[in-house]
Amino acid sequence: MDEEDLTRLLDKLDLRQKVRLLTGATTWRTAAEPAVALGAMTMSDGPAGVRGEAWDERETSALLPSATGLCAMWDEDLVERLGQLLAAEARCKSVHVVLAPTLNIHRSPLAGRHFECFSEDPVLVGRTGAALIRGIQSAGVAATAKHYVANDSETERLTVDVRVEERVLRELFLAPFEYAVEAGVHVVMSGYNGVNGDTMTENALLAEPLKREWGFDGPVVSDWGAVRSTVASALAGQDLAMPGPHSPWGDALLDAVTGGTVAEEVVDDKVRRLLRLAGRVGALGPAESSSSRSPASPASAAPSCSPGAAPSPMSPAPRDPLPEDDRRRLLRRAVVAGSVLLENRGVLPLATDALTTVALIGDHAATPRCQGGGSAGVFPQSVTGPLDGIRDALGDAVGVVHVPGPAVFAPPPLDPADCSDPRTGSPGVLLRVLDKEGRELCAERRMSGRQLEPPQPPGAHTVEISARLLPGTGGEWTLGVGGFGRMSLTVDGALLLDGEFPRETDDPAVVHVNPPCHYGRVSLAAGTPVHVVARRELAPDTGRAVLVSAAPPRPEPAQAVADAVRAARDADVAVVCVGTTEDSESEGRDREDLALPGGQNALVRAVAAANPRTVVVVNAGSPVEMPWRKEVGAVLLSWFPGQEGGAGLADMLFGAAEPRGRLPTTWGARLADVPVTATTPDGGVLHYAEGLHIGHRAWLREGREPAYWFGHGLGYTTWDYRDMTVDPTDPTDPVEPAGPGGADGLTVRVRLRNTGGRGGREVVQVYLSKPDSVVERPARWFAGYAAVEAAPSENVTAVVHVPGRALRHWCVRERAWRLEPGVFQVLVGPSAGRIALSGVVAAGDRGSG
């Protein structure tokens, strides 16, 4: 859509119509406007999957690895391919805008949303995010770069004011968003937080550098509920207030324009950006203009998701997703690509012909965390966990014994495997909505005790979830109900819980997604069904979410460890699956420590003492302490691996594939060693006092040794770095997407040899240093990478393109990028802490980038 088309459409709208478009029509949709054939645009959370408008277990989604797992791939082609999978899912759900990727930085390992962000390094964040954006937007769906900017922790996230110096902001926290704009991202989301005194929906950073310097031409959408003013946010560059239909804009903005406080040209610019987005995602009717649909949008030719379904001109035309087998293969490949082999003492890969028994130990083995907690959660189409994946890989030839060990997880939501609808007897639960007098307004069978958006017909007063629970084991069961307001829980008519549970937070991730649960215990007999009924009143400002959970009795911790030790001692190999829980790692709150919850450390140590061939699989989206890491045979980090985690794990354990991932973030051995941890504001202010020195930069500055450096990752072979050359980049050579300032950088060629007995993949990393700099700099900083593959004894050359921006610094005085003349060191190796080769390059002042 060209600018003349946009102007013509704007001229058809009066002021009231324009202002109405700037607030969402619903929670997930923008407003439609028939006068210009503009359809509503639907948004959906990402980045691990596309949920769509409904948070309903019957509406499933393909589930990708967590963002940390995507970034650990160091493979932009694969990330782009996964972005295309998200796009196909979006189009089949009539979603125009995917609210991903998250481009905030791993500043502190305590950050609760760490798993949803990519890396500690702005270059790696930027390159990975740009790849995902290209994939999502390849099919006429918009990606969203979020949360602009410095929204890097959860404590007081709705109100915190981040204080950060201009140079630090430019070089670290704004940089990934610049990559996104260069990649053509269609939408940017402003965060809840403030930066240097102004909340982001009212912050001058929306105009400069985002819109003016970088030329971002799409709309800035608010995080949900982040617009809190009328005039200040309108003048700052905020374009769309979500959710709707109510916001601080509406009639108040209309009055501000008619009263002269806000110029109508400001509103016009916002509407123009929304119309531009609509043209790009196929939400403008074809009657308006032959150019009103982006040439890149294949909407009119795309096949429908269901036979006979005609695509609406007001929505993205659905596309057939990948066939199920192809989708599962891609997601299985993604697990292998992002998993990081941290330690290996000759144990992996396991030779299946030498195995008779495998002991699989830990709660996470049977019920893994396939995704992080919070607003990005989806209901996966299916989940293959470690127990299923390993049993499928080994078949009947090898015995697999599962011992859960000490309990780690809170009681899970009621599951159709254990309960049935008390009316029909079908697997699942009965959900009823009642009026104030207790009369039934609606009822339906659902498949989970976790209902985040139950129906709310007129007159709705109470949500009731009931089930016939069939205990598989006898003893003292734990049952719970979660939410806010007045709640009760009965078992066979006996009251187990009853009370008023006040809401103590405004955080939407807690109120609407993960409200606290309250528990009681009751003795149940094996095989004797009981009728469980939970009720929750829908009082104002308490949200709608309700959870009903149940857990059978478990052995005491000492007995559970003893059972695990016995199984490990009798097996050829022990695989211990450990990890975090939704209570220890989730959106809405930061972590208090890096310890694995429950008795997992004691479990690992006891099993390793019983069997030296112990492999530990770490199922976490963020760094955790592993005090036993040198006591076990191997440590494999799977992150939150998505729906095919168990299948990919089996591929790696038994040698069908090599773990290909590398750490996107430095992992400390202990929280006390980590140089930057602060997430708690002081008087509402969070100072980024560390400046440029976060991640590996901070570890190098402090002279400390982490457990594992940024970039670390082992494979099933070994590599010898032979030699390197450094040359200015030839502008006539094709250069991989390297980010801003890539035209006049360096080309580093590294020759290396596979010295092991298997083919493998190596990620060659380039760092820069300038020891004699008169400008404050990190000891060294990441500049680029390239991955190579080689057969045994094969030589291969990695070609790494270093963008010109990597040599420059932001000059606050001149407000421009500047290159300090002199000699830069070029350092090459497999991680930030392991440099294999070095060279130098002389640089002169080439002006601004």
Residue pair 795/751 in contact (Cβ under 8 Å)? The answer is yes
CATH topology of domain 341-407+555-660: Rossmann fold (3.40.50)
Question: Structural domain boundaries of the chain?
Answer: 3-301, 341-407+555-660, 419-551, 717-843
Residue 572 tokens read as 């050829």
Alpha carbon 66 to chain centroid distance? 5
Cα–Cα distance, 206 to 181 (Å, whole number): 13
Q: Convert 334-385 into a string of H (helix), E (strand) and C (coil).
A: HHHHHCEEEEECCCCCCCHHHCCEEEEECHHHHCCCCCCECCCCCCECCCCC
- Percent of residues in the chain assigned helix, strand, coil, to nearest 5: 25, 25, 50
CATH homologous superfamily, domain 717-843 = Immunoglobulins (2.60.40.10)
Residue 793 tokens read as 């004894």
SS3 436: coil
Render pLDDT for 763-809 as a digit per residue (tens, 0 to 9). Answer: 999 999 999 999 999 999 999 999 999 999 999 999 999 999 999 99
Residue pair 102/47 in contact (Cβ under 8 Å)? The answer is yes
Distances from the Cα of 348 to the Cα of 574, 579, 604, 615, 761, angstroms: 12, 20, 17, 8, 16
Residue pair 438/462 in contact (Cβ under 8 Å)? The answer is yes
Return the number of other C-beta atoms located less than 10 Å from residue 63's C-beta.
Answer: 24
Give the model's pLDDT for residue 298: 33
Give the model's pLDDT for residue 506: 85
Give the model's pLDDT for residue 297: 36
| Segments of the chain scoring below 70 in pLDDT | 286-321, 731-738, 741-743, 844-849
Cα–Cα distance, 24 to 282 (Å, whole number): 18
Cα–Cα distance, 104 to 162 (Å, whole number): 13
Cα–Cα distance, 638 to 633 (Å, whole number): 16
Sign, CA dihedral 91-93-99-101, equals negative
Active site residues: 223
Cα–Cα distance, 523 to 475 (Å, whole number): 5
Give the model's pLDDT for residue 619: 98
CATH homologous superfamily, domain 3-301 = Glycoside hydrolase, family 3, N-terminal domain (3.20.20.300)
Give the model's pLDDT for residue 504: 85
Indicate the residue type of 458: P
Domain 419-551: state its class. mainly beta
Residue 583 burial class via C-beta count within 10 angstroms: exposed 0-12, middle 13-18, buried 19 and up: middle
Residue pair 544/463 in contact (Cβ under 8 Å)? The answer is yes
Give the model's pLDDT for residue 100: 98
